Structure 1
Amino acid sequence: MLTDTMIEDARWKALDLPKLAEKAAQATLIHMELVPSEFEIVVMGCDDARIAELNGDFRDKPQPTNVLSWPSEERGPEIDGEAPDLPQPGPDLELGDIAIAFETCQREAADAGKPFMDHVTHLIVHAVLHLLGYDHIRDKDATLMEGIEVAVLGKLGLEDPY
């Protein structure tokens, strides 16, 4: 398995977060021409209180957010719009960790009129791309990252979230 999912909030069980995270992460790596069995990602399904704590500890923003990611190493490109250097395959190479908050994701999906599962799938794809070195702070980086998200989600049969 590519993903090791920890459930801290039982509401994630009804969504089957382990299965959803595995499918989204695999689709992302396959799209990037990486072999999923050569990598590991830890996914934590938590609530808003826990993610606010993590957001405060790691980003000095003590409020809830939808998803956080911690890459195992910095892979981002120096030039805006360039693709990052993808990791070299190896036995059980850890790409990093992801935390996703139930209430924020549920609220965002409802506000946007999107199915909850589709929104969570998008956020997992988004977070996996962060683990691979993609970002959306600079304009050209955001355009590149969003294009990949749309392509991966399309392959999963989901609509363009943008």
Structure 2
Amino acid sequence: MGSRPPGGEAAGPIYGAPGEDAGCGFDIEVVLEDPAWRSAVPRVQEVARRAAAAAFAEGGPDEDGIAAVTVLLTGDHQVKRLNGDHRGKVKPTNVLSFPPLHPGLPGDVALALGVVRREARVAGRSVMAHLSHLVAHGVLHLLGHDHLHAGEARRMERAEARIMRRLALPNPWRGVA
């Protein structure tokens, strides 16, 4: 990834100059590869961009200065392929994060519509809220957050809860044991 996929439609920024989000210095590109996202989430590219900007505002640039991301809104088949190619797991997943190959390039976050829809339905959340949470989750991974150990997971969950509050969306961790 790291560049617009063939056939993908990129969204320009909501505010500020091209490539900037709200003048915050975060370079956020949202690529709509699967147009079915539009019917699942109104203004989906704006929703994804706002979630990424909120995650950057929460986490700040990482030690390598990452403050840029390309968010790929795609389908299960594409994420299954990426998951197989990069993680050896030949199945779709909700979100994948890829750090940049070289300093100064954006990291990538890819989201699978089918998985996101199913998870939202099971959790009783809107697809929009779940998408926002997962975009934030993916960006936090690019910024160095992880959830492999209990302490790391709690810190990441708290950061995600603050991001969701900033977006005026429900805390995805409320009521989760």
After TM superposition, the score normalised by the length of structure 2 is 0.74
Summarize the alignment of residues 6-155 of structure 1 with structure 2, pairs less than 5 Å apart.
6-14=31-39, 15=41, 16-33=43-60, 39-72=67-100, 93-155=104-166
| Contact 1:109-1:116 at 8 Å conserved across structures | yes
Name the CA distance, whole Å, in 1 between partners of 2:139 and 2:106: 8
- CA deviation map 1:23-61 (0-9, x unaligned): 011111122355xxx832111111111111110000000
Contact preservation (8 Å) 2:60, 2:67: no
Per-residue deviation at 1:139? Answer: 1.2
Identical-residue share of aligned pairs (%): 37
Which residue number corresponds to residue 76 of structure 1? Answer: none
The unaligned stretches of length 5 or more in structure 1 are 74-86, 88-92
More helix by share: 1
RMSD (Å), alpha carbons: 2.0
Q: Distance in 2 between matches of 1:115 and 1:23?
A: 16
The alpha carbon displacement at 1:95 in A equals 4.1
d(CA) in 1 for partners of 2:105 and 2:158?
Answer: 25
On the 8 A contact 1:3/1:18 being kept in 2, the answer is: no
Q: How many residues align?
A: 142
Find the aligned partners of 1:155 and 1:58 in 2 and give their Cα distance. 32
After superposition, the Cα gap between the structure-2 partners of 1:33 and 1:57, relative to the gap in structure 1 and judged at 3 Å, is closer
Q: 1:9 to 1:33 in 2, by over 3 A?
A: closer
Question: 5+ unaligned residues in a row in structure 2: which ranges?
Answer: 1-19, 21-26
The answer (yes or no) to whether the contact 1:44–1:99 under 8 Å persists in 2 is yes
Task: Detail structure 1 runs of 4+ shifted over 4 Å in the superposition.
Answer: none
The one-letter code matched in structure 2 to 1:56 is G
Please give the alpha-carbon distance, in whole angstroms, between the structure 1 residues aligned to 2:44 and 2:72. Answer: 9
Q: Is the contact between residue 39 and residue 94 of structure 1 (CA under 8 Å) also seen in structure 2?
A: no
Cα deviation, residue 18, structure 1: 1.8
Cross-structure match for 1:83? none
Whether 1:4 and 2:29 are equivalent positions in the alignment is yes
Quote how far apart the aligned CAs of 1:147 are.
Answer: 0.7
Counterparts of 1:147 and 1:4 in 2: how far apart (Å)? 26
Compare relative contact order (CA 8 Å, sep 6+) and give the higher one, 1 or 2. Answer: 1
